[in-house]
Amino acid sequence: MPICSGVLRIAAGSVFLWFCTTQPTRAAHSALLTPTGSYSVGRTFFHWTDPNRTDPVVARTEREFMVIAWYPAEADTSEVHALWMPERWALSEAKLLYYYQRLNSPNPLTMGEALRAIHGTVSNSIAEAPPARTKNLWPLLLFSPGAGVNLAFYSTFAEDLTSHGHAVFAIVPTGWVDTTFPDGHRVPACGKLLDDDIALPRWAGDLRFMLDQIERLDRDLNSIFFR
């Protein structure tokens, strides 16, 4: 039996911990692949802080991280699709693209071109869209990216899964990915955290805390997922 009151199905055997440890290919196209399922895709963000753990990067602070949630949404062709790369992360990702272009390409992009490539691409998701009205519960997938890779580069996978009726909650691992939070403060990526003995316990702790927060979210009368 589900242990929640909303549309997210959190039950024994229905939660998949999906780790990806390889960096996806960064497509040169300006548009993402269209999801193959029947649902429209909504996207929202959460900023969660675990008061019981300290951050491995910022000394003497509580562990905090961002989460992107993709979920089945009500179809509305009039809604504008959200930017592929969230605004607060676009500049740092453009700088990375510019750096790797200069390192590896015989005809590297200028910084302006890199910024337009990152910032000018739209996703297949609608920001803060109303969840799809359905009697079915959504299987919940938890996603953790490869070290150093921004979650936006996995958007095609997440959007396609969501279009088939899944909810995908994906964590931005602070310290392993350059992260700017809603209030504007930034925590840069830290190379010393790449050791698996350091990374894996932290990621597991983040995922456990995220699952606890999702359970609370699904019982919250003010949550978009409560019904």
Both tokens of 49, joined, read 């802080």
pLDDT of residue 117: 86
- Return the amino acid letter for 53: R
Q: Are strands 125-127 and 179-180 parallel, antiparallel or unpaired?
A: unpaired
Other residues' Cβ atoms within 10 Å of the Cβ of residue 202:
19
Using DSSP, state whether 173 is helix, strand or coil: coil
- Give me the percent of the chain exceeding a pLDDT of 90: 37
List the domain boundaries for the chain: 8-84+122-219, 89-120
- Give me the percent of the chain exceeding a pLDDT of 70: 82
CATH of domain 8-84+122-219: 3.40.50.1820
Highest mean pLDDT among 14-18, 64-68, 189-193: 64-68
Query: Computed from CA positions of residues 189, 195, 198, 202, in that sequence, does the dihedral angle turn out positive or negative?
Result: positive
In 26-126, which ranges are continuous DSSP H helix? 87-104, 111-119
The model's pTM:
0.82
Higher per-residue confidence, 1 vs 47:
47
Is residue 210 within 8 Å of 169, Cβ to Cβ? yes
Alpha-carbon span 23 to 21, nearest angstrom: 7
